[in-house]
Amino acid sequence: GRGGARAGDPEEVRAVLRRRRRSIEVAEFEFAVVAAAFAETEPEHWGGYVSPIQALRQECGMTGHAAASAICVGSQAPSLPASVAALEDGRLGFAHLAVLAGTTRALQVSPGSGGFDEHPLLDQALAHGLKRFRDDCAHVRHAHDASAFLAEQREQASYRLLELHAGEGGTLFLKGSFDPVAAAAIR
């Protein structure tokens, strides 16, 4: 069939899923490189949008977070050759690479950041699931520049949102957005 595997052969289905996912991860990375190049263009090339992120959101049907992650990964790729190689050979997923790229950018712009070595973070990315790797990166950023990390945490807390909407028959609808600290408390 279209999926490339018979429905009755779970091993073949798993193999197809792994191959497809790997090709999607590589395509995400290739998109990220182009997105970063687009973000470097002059504002008059953004099609009337106020930022490259807004342009990607509207023209590519992405969330703001996905657009920002793509731009970050593409712009940080030259600093992360071993991580990019790990993605290309199927050992690292794009989501891990995005967290690694964001951490790299934060470490590079913080005061007193000396040379950056991607290998310790890459080793953690390869060893840990995404949630734990995010925590690993938060610890690294805090250890590297505690004041900048805490300032970012305070800024994220300012974006907390909880809306309650009454529905018919006593139904209550919740809508919210929480920074990582608040999310952990809620969990």
- 32-60: per-residue pLDDT in tens? 999 999 999 999 999 999 999 999 999 99
In the predicted model, is pLDDT for residue 3 greater than 60?
no
* Band of pLDDT at residue 150, cut at 50, 70 and 90: low
d(CA 81, CA 78): 6
- The torsion angles phi and psi of 4, rounded to 5 degrees, stand at 85, 5
CB 125 within 8 A of CB 83: yes
Q: What is the CA radius of gyration of the chain?
A: 20
What the block records as the tokens of 51 is: 């930022």
C-alpha to C-alpha distance for 187 and 174, rounded to whole angstroms: 16
The pTM is what?
Answer: 0.74
Q: How many residues does the chain have?
A: 187
User: What DSSP character marks residue 45?
Assistant: G
